[in-house]
Structure 1
């Protein structure tokens, strides 16, 4: 069956309800280690509450008209720590600390032994999503390169070797997620652009190891950071590590372009791939009109065919008010429909 043109999707996260998480606490940090105090629901009822929140996210995406949906990452404190802290080889009780570029000390996972996946981490999440929607369903995993940039390594002393073990763990999980019903697997790799020199040495290798043998479409997502964390005009207007991703085995590359207003000529560097193109500005509290979304999609179509473009938000939406996120997704679906009609 031929896929519709300009399939809309989300990057991953959707706003968690105020009754589920302390959103004021959430707004101050993207946690690398566990942050259990962020949950408002007692442990005994937390899974049930997360399931209910996931149903809300699924129904919002369906009502908005999104073609490929996720579970909204309702069970996660951040995009990466849910998986990264579940592996053997990480000291769960005693985190490490790194100093950020702004001089702030941040707790991070401390690697004290060989990294191994000893249990499923997101498989129940995928099973729940699959049981509650008949739409194509995507699930996201933190990429091996990014996880390797977010830890204190006290065991390997070799970043590439450590990332290869992260990749093996991700690959095991991804295969189980496909068996659980995933139609698309996405790796989140925002740190590729933070450390392009190290990325150039081995990022493609570890990404390919993480995606080895996966039978469904795969995506690599990179961005400049959440709009809530990197607001306004502080984002660069171009990627330092992008053409290299054409050499990965991922079928799709996800980039943001609405907020940073990047030169879409870079899409030519990704010619073999499909591109998830960010056409929703998550820094703008206003809900875009469908016409504005259509305009941004048309800009992307100057450089690639409609068969290869998937309109999406710039990044995860978890930091937005829920009503704003829903409105933006509805505009996304309606804007894509406008351009789809023009192409028919």
Structure 2
């Protein structure tokens, strides 16, 4: 029987310091060759155990095998030059040195499928695997070939669909597409972003999720949040079309954000991963903090469709803080489960 209010993370967990620099995004690997392959598998085992000890219901690899949630996937594709980078503004917020699309993009071999098989061997729990969404991939590159964000996104959607089908065959229960760009480029999201996402999930029988948040707790994101005013209503622009889409689960940021909770009403009928853990602070939520967020969300989503989650990935946090936050998430969900069963 499925656990009511099944908990999960939005994606990344901190990496052990023998694998990569702690509390740093895009940190280079400290190992290479065969040692790196073994090190990533060991880190995946550790991340899985951290989740299990914290009582997380739907587990993931904690993104231990990737440096970055977008570029690690792109590194394995043809048509992208990582040597001669260009600087672009990512999500209209911060400059980054990014790879360049120089010819038609294609995927020669699976990217994460072996990692997913390895995770599947380690546990009987439901597993979730994150992939970058097509629009966010486009936003993390300089396109010198297609000269069209939409054309490139459609190509990426086809490639993601190939990968997703193989992840499903490897035993993944939920495939999540990370689309932080959905919170920025509203016209494009409604014109072609959601359609591209539907192309990426075409033919899948496993559950599919889209994760849309306000980003990791890095300075560029927290500074941007200061400009958004007292109410963050970005979801309002895209939820109606997402509600009508084929995506099963919508993952969003709630705790300590200024997102009006009633916006969840716009996706009524979908499953919702409710972000009840703030990843942009080192202060650790109490179980009651988590329970308060979940109770509020339950006004707009049925209990059997609510999945307590983190706001975003926890890669930039220390392992101790991430561990404590995961424990708080499970304990808070348990409080509300008990209330629902009375």
Give the TM-score band, short-chain normalised: over 0.9
Q: Kindly tell me: are residues 332 and 103 of structure 1, through their superposed partners in 2, closer, same or farther at Cα, counting changes over 3 Å?
A: closer
- Determine if the alignment matches structure 1 residue 241 to structure 2 residue 232: no
Question: Which residue, 116, 124, 134 being the options, matches 2:114?
Answer: 124
Q: Kindly tell me: are residues 298 and 180 of structure 1, through their superposed partners in 2, closer, same or farther at Cα, counting changes over 3 Å?
A: same
Shift of 1:257: 1.0
Describe how 1:330-341 pairs up with structure 2 within 5 A. Answer: 330-341=327-338
Question: Which residue is 2:257 aligned to?
Answer: 260
Shift of 1:95: 2.2
Q: Distance in 2 between matches of 1:315 and 1:152?
A: 25
Q: Distance in 2 between matches of 1:209 and 1:305?
A: 28
Q: Distance in 2 between matches of 1:279 and 1:101?
A: 24
Q: Distance in 2 between matches of 1:267 and 1:103?
A: 26
Q: Kindly tell me: are residues 337 and 176 of structure 1, through their superposed partners in 2, closer, same or farther at Cα, counting changes over 3 Å?
A: same
SS at 1:163 equivalent: helix
Q: Distance in 2 between matches of 1:5 and 1:65?
A: 13
Question: Which residue, 130, 151, 162 being the options, matches 2:152?
Answer: 162
Q: Distance in 2 between matches of 1:112 and 1:283?
A: 36
Alpha-carbon deviations, 1:190-235, whole Å to 9, x = none?
Answer: 0111211222210111000000011111000011111234237527
Q: Distance in 2 between matches of 1:285 and 1:107?
A: 28
Residues 70 and 140 in structure 2, CA contact (< 8 A), matched pair in contact too: no
Question: Which residue, 173, 176, 186 being the options, matches 1:196?
Answer: 186
Residues 91 and 139 in structure 2, CA contact (< 8 A), matched pair in contact too: no
Q: Distance in 2 between matches of 1:338 and 1:200?
A: 38
Question: Which residue, 275, 284, 288 being the options, matches 2:281?
Answer: 284
Name the count of aligned residue pairs: 334
Q: Distance in 2 between matches of 1:250 and 1:62?
A: 27
Q: Kindly tell me: are residues 116 and 282 of structure 1, through their superposed partners in 2, closer, same or farther at Cα, counting changes over 3 Å?
A: same
Alpha-carbon deviations, 1:228-275, whole Å to 9, x = none?
Answer: 342375274222433321132110000001131310110110012110
Question: Which residue is 1:271 aligned to?
Answer: 268
Q: Distance in 2 between matches of 1:63 and 1:333?
A: 10
Task: Give the TM-score normalised by the residue count of structure 2.
Answer: 0.93
Residues 22 and 318 in structure 2, CA contact (< 8 A), matched pair in contact too: no
Shift of 1:304: 1.4
SS at 1:113 equivalent: strand
Question: Which residue is 1:11 aligned to?
Answer: 10
Question: Which residue is 1:86 aligned to?
Answer: 76
Question: Which residue, 169, 186, 189 being the options, matches 1:179?
Answer: 169
Q: Structure 2: where are the runs of 5+ without partners?
A: none
Q: Distance in 1 between matches of 2:83 and 2:306?
A: 44
Q: Distance in 2 between matches of 1:297 and 1:75?
A: 31
Q: Distance in 1 between matches of 2:68 and 2:110?
A: 18
Describe how 1:1-344 pairs up with structure 2 within 5 A. Answer: 2-23=1-22, 26-27=24-25, 31=26, 38-99=28-89, 105-229=95-219, 230-231=221-222, 234=226, 236=228, 237-239=232-234, 240-344=237-341
Shift of 1:152: 1.1
Q: Distance in 2 between matches of 1:302 and 1:242?
A: 17
Residues 235 and 260 in structure 1, CA contact (< 8 A), matched pair in contact too: no
TM-align CA RMSD? 1.8
Task: Give the TM-score normalised by the residue count of structure 1.
Answer: 0.92
